[in-house]
Structure 1
Amino acid sequence: MNRKNLIGIFILAVILPFMLLTSCTTKQNWTQFRGSEGTMSVTASGLPTEWGTGKNVLWSADLNGTGYSSPVVWGTKVFITSTFPEKVNPAPERPAGPPPQAVQGPQGGQAAQQGQRPPQPAGPPVPEVRDTSYMNEIYKWEVICFDLATGRENWRQVAYQGAPKAGKNQNSTYACETPVTNGKQIVASFGMHGIFCYDMEGNLIWQKDPGVYYTQRGWGTGSSPVIYKDKVFIQADNEENSFLLALDIATGNELWRVTRDEKTTYSTPFIWKNKSGTELVTTGKTARSYDPETGKLLW
């Protein structure tokens, strides 16, 4: 079994015992990244603290691909995303042995005494060379639904297939964003590769192209979508035109968009319900709060 398959099995076999007991014992759903309230907390008791082969694992499933996204649960269904490489560039060759050591030359007055040129002031920074080799690769971006009790695959949809629209960190994947569900729709965001909304049976309702933008060092995206009432929120902080976006969950139509004075971040928005009302809170170099209905900056 190859490493890609092991990653898929590990994700479901390790995380699902926690979600199975949470969902089955308390009738709660795990609807988004960090849980239904976004706080990474549950009220269930008696959850397993250890697991392994034959221990606290009800079932496991092979995803065939890779992903850093978390599973989400609604009722008897488990949803997760994955990407499968169909054509990838060979890994760069690295020379054997330790890297060559820099040779330290004479410094300052010693250099002048020996008739050598003294150290010069540092010049302008070397411009970043953007890697575009990913354009020659081919991937499949998938959304998969499993039965919570048995692990049987209910459906699998290919959301996008083709060359990546942007690169990623070599140690990361193209499925970093956790999907979100309200029990009627399941929304999966794959960053610049699209936002996809399905019904609970796997039928595509709508899809949205958020555009292509450069992220820090070309490392890709990771902010997960969030649902509140009839809206889906997408935080897209990048090096060119950061923004926060609200979409109608029924149609995918854009309801509002606000620009953000931020560079690349990977944080997920948080719905904060407090005495003053409900706020959409984001982080970056600056924490900000927005009105989820209008996008107005609150603080």
Structure 2
Amino acid sequence: MPRLFPHAAFLPILIASAVSAGAPWPQFRGPAGDGVVVGQSVPLTVGEDENLLWKTALPGKAWSSPVIADGVVWMTTAIEAIPTEEERVAMLRQAGVEEKHLKQRAVAKQIDLKLVSVDFKTGELLRQVDLTTVEQPDPIHPLNSYASPTPVISGGNVYCHFGTFGTFCVDRTGGEIVWSRRLPLDHAVGPGSSPFVDGDRLVLIQDGMERQYVVALDKSTGKTVWEVDRPEMVAPSGDQKKAYCTPIKIVDPRGREQLICMGSQWIVAYQPETGNEIWRAYHGKGFSVVPRPVYGDGVVYFSTGFGKAQLWAVRVDGEGDVSSSHVVWTVPKGIPTKPSPVLHDGLVYVIDDNGIASCFEADSGQLVWKKRIGGKHSASPLLVDGRLYFGSHEGTVTVMSAGRDAEVVSESQLDGQIMASFAAVENSLVIRTADAIYRFAE
């Protein structure tokens, strides 16, 4: 049962978040960053020989999601020089990894970070842009990659972020690097936060072990526009202060623009132009937060991350510390630590890491239904034309009808592991697996 707070009846103005058919796919989770697509019809079933327009093998290893504009699909990747098991253990010990964590870390001797482009119509591999080579990169979690943050397209450029390994602005026409920055950070298990473009600024959440902050860069030059530290946290170590979330931008019922940046222990809203704090809410001891928040009707919905993941709903019309005044409801169990939620037509959908999908009332947090999908899940679900699309580590694509009487309507199987979130453009479903990129259409 959700814990309901007395503000649950608050129903402010709805801010539209869905985007019409034919729009490009410029960022993580689509044009509005919420995984909701209307006005398109993508295939109900997919497969290695079903509704497949093309499949293109990709170099390297990366969990970043594809972004699409002007007939080109863009992705980042990392080409790893793999050590032997003996070398791996020695490198991890040299990096200061504790003995008990050796099996929980991966490392490469060298990584070549690249930007890859594919023709949306034909699947032809168009270009590989060499961004940087990193000798002896930091260790990562075995489930992570060195290229997990999703790039973002804005104007004639694509912005690639690899956390501590570098941030790059690349010209989409010629493939030249316009500028690059390196903002060192101890991620502990590798990078995860995707960049976000807000007007003339590129916003990065930098929640590491030793320091947690948000920075806005001039997207034309890469120079810092503003930088702000996160609220003070109480934790035994930096491991419980780090996070991997991606910002969202909203306009609240009072007409204020807000840049909402979820982190460990706190969710914070900032003024986009200055970085000044608008409000903050303490959500407990959750850390290593991955899911991107969603917003509607004056309320932001978010997962609290690792520890014991919960789903929270918080009103955004406050100022200062709103922890005791603006929490609408919380759901204490069955919530994902990696896949992001979907908000649509008054319902919040989630799928937890172990493949159990749930639906909640957006205004009360009451459970509508819970169904076992199966598999392990990291990719965020996609809602297209009234259907929910899920991708699992095992390469299974599951489609459910959305709504109060949802049911599984199809299951399809692809050859590779799915960690990246799907894209939907021009009535096509674009799926990246561990080894390839696919385009499906009827």
TM-score band by shorter chain is 0.7 to 0.9
- Where 2:269 maps in the other structure, the secondary structure is strand
> C-alpha separation between the residues in 1 aligned to 2:249 and 2:217?
15
Q: 1:12 corresponds to which residue?
A: none
Q: Distance in 1 between matches of 2:136 and 2:28?
A: 24
**Would the alpha carbon gap of residues 169 and 92 (structure 1) be closer, same or farther in structure 2, given more than 3 Å must change?**
farther
Structure (1/2) with the larger helix percentage = 1
| 1:216-268 per-position Cα deviation (integer Å, ceiling 9, x unaligned) | xx211100000011110000101111110100111111101101136111111
Instruction: Name the CA distance, whole Å, in 1 between partners of 2:51 and 2:252.
Output: 38
1:75 and 1:226 map into 2 onto residues whose CA distance is 19
Instruction: In structure 2, give the amino acid aligned to 1:32.
Output: Q
Shift of 1:49: 2.4
Instruction: Find the counterpart in structure 2 of residue 221 from structure 1.
Output: 191
Aligned length: 239
Stretch moving more, 224-233 or 136-145: 136-145
- Normalised to the residue count of structure 1, the TM-score between the two structures is 0.74
- Correspondence for 1:78: 73
Cα offset, 1:164, TM superposition = 4.2
* Alpha-carbon spacing, 1:47–1:136, altered in 2? closer, same or farther (3 Å): closer
Contact 1:69 1:80 in 2 (8 A): yes
The 3 A distance-change label for structure 1 pair 164 and 44 is: farther
Contact 2:106 2:142 in 1 (8 A): no
Identity over the aligned pairs, expressed in percent?
A: 28
Equivalent of residue 156 in structure 1, options 108, 123, 128: 128
CA RMSD of aligned residues (A): 2.4
Give yes or no for contact 1:165–1:192 (8 Å, CA) kept in 2. Answer: no
2:179 corresponds to which residue?
Answer: 206
1:13-28 map, 5 Å: 26-28=21-23
Consecutive unaligned residues of structure 1, counting only runs of 5 or more, are: 1-22, 94-126
The structure 1 residue matched to 2:159, chosen from 181, 187, 194, is 187
With the length of structure 2 as denominator, give the TM-score of the two structures.
Answer: 0.51
Q: Which has the higher strand share?
A: 2
Alignment of 1:1-299 (within 5 A): 26-85=21-80, 87-91=81-85, 128=98, 137-201=109-173, 202-211=175-184, 213-215=185-187, 218-261=188-231, 263-275=241-253, 276-284=255-263, 285-299=265-279
Who wins on radius of gyration, i.e. which is larger? 1
Greater RCO (Cα-Cα under 8 Å, separation 6 or more): 2
User: Take 1:161 and 1:62, find their aligned partners in 2: how far apart are those partners?
Assistant: 22
Q: Deviations over 1:156-203 (max 9, x none)?
A: 111111324321012321011000011321000011110000111211
CA distance in 1, matches of 2:40, 2:143: 35
* Distance in 1 (alpha carbons) for counterparts of 2:64 and 2:171: 20
Structure 1 stretches of 4+ moved >6 Å? 133-136
Query: Which residue identity does 2:48 align to in structure 1?
Result: T
Question: Aligned with 1:205: secondary structure?
Answer: strand
Structure 1, residues 74-133: CA drift from partner, whole Å, max 9, x if none? 121110011111x2222369xxxxxxxxxxxxxxxxxxxxxxxxxxxxxxxxx94687x9
CA contact (8 A) 1:38 1:271 kept: no
- How far does residue 274 in structure 1 lie from its aligned partner after superposition? 3.0
Tell me if structure 1 keeps the 8 A contact 2:118–2:127: yes
Task: State whether residues 166 and 192 of structure 1, in contact with CA within 8 Å, keep that contact through their aligned partners in structure 2.
Answer: no
Give per-residue Cα distances to partners, 1:39-68, cap 9 Å, x unaligned.
Answer: 111113321121102212211111121111
Gaps in structure 2 of 5+ consecutive residues: 1-18, 88-96, 234-240, 280-442
